Structure 1
Amino acid sequence: MSDTTPQTRELNLYRQYFDLVAAGTKTIEVRVKYPHLADVTVGDTIRFRIKGSDETCEVKVKRVTEYPDFEALLDGEGPSNVNPTATRDEQLARIRAIYPPEKETLGAVAIQIGLLS
């Protein structure tokens, strides 16, 4: 039997993305499908933190969807949900600057989030 108790996990975000999450305009968080994220599930809480700071923002996980790569993720989720301030091509370039090709081969995860009220 698996434990279905919602978890709280902490993830770092760059300031520009943190601000979009805190404003409620970024509703999809993009991550590489790392093993430590394999059990993220609906109902979990994510506490985003700006690295090196005490500033945090908590969100609830609404959905988790796996994709083979970042292009498929952006096409499936819609670029405006990932980052409403950048075009699809700009986002793809920025995501790939964060995650090199060998990381992308692990797969991509779209985590739909909503601010805690």
Structure 2
Amino acid sequence: MSNTTPRVRELNLYRQYFDLVAVGTKTVEVRVKYPHLADLTAGDVIRFRIKGTDETCEVEVERVTEYPGFETLLDGEGPSNVNPTASRDEQLANIRAIYPPEKEALGALAIRIELIS
């Protein structure tokens, strides 16, 4: 018998995105391809936390897809999966406000997630 305990990662989220994940309407999380996320894979668990609080929710990673940038990610994944409350252009502006061009140049990860009940 093999040990198949999923790895658990903790990542911070802003309240507006946390709330969408917590109700299951945000199914794709966008991150820069930082080295600490390079080995993120299907089956891993992400525990999202609102920074400075004890509020958390857990999701299972269904897949991780790498894109050269945020525009191609939104086009490939569909903006409504990333944030069903904002237009594509609003999302692009919001993502780029969080991640400056030098971070986007590292590559973008689309992390398909499913809320763990």
TM-score class normalised by the smaller sequence: over 0.9
CA distance in 2, matches of 1:9, 1:63: 15
- Given residue 12 of structure 1, which amino acid in structure 2 is its aligned partner? N
CA distance in 2, matches of 1:116, 1:19: 14
Is 1:37–2:37 an aligned residue pair?
Answer: yes
Identify the residue that residue 18 of structure 2 maps to in structure 1.
18
Alignment of 1:78-117 (within 5 A): 78-117=78-117
TM-align CA RMSD: 0.9
- Given residue 110 of structure 1, which amino acid in structure 2 is its aligned partner? A
Is 1:9–2:9 an aligned residue pair?
Answer: yes
TM-score by length of 1: 0.95
Percent sequence identity is 83
Deviations 1:2-34 (A, max 9, x none): xx7521000000000000000100000000000
Structure 1 unpaired stretches of 5+: none
Shift, 1:45, TM fit: 0.3
Identify the residue that residue 62 of structure 2 maps to in structure 1.
62
Identify the residue that residue 47 of structure 1 maps to in structure 2.
47
Deviations 1:22-53 (A, max 9, x none): 01000000000000000100000000000000
CA distance in 2, matches of 1:34, 1:5: 24
Deviations 1:58-98 (A, max 9, x none): 00000100000000000000000000000000000000000
User: Size of the alignment, in residue pairs?
Assistant: 114
TM-score by length of 2: 0.95
Question: Displaced runs of 4+ in structure 1, greater than 4 A?
Answer: none
- Given residue 93 of structure 2, which amino acid in structure 1 is its aligned partner? A
Structure 2 unpaired stretches of 5+: none
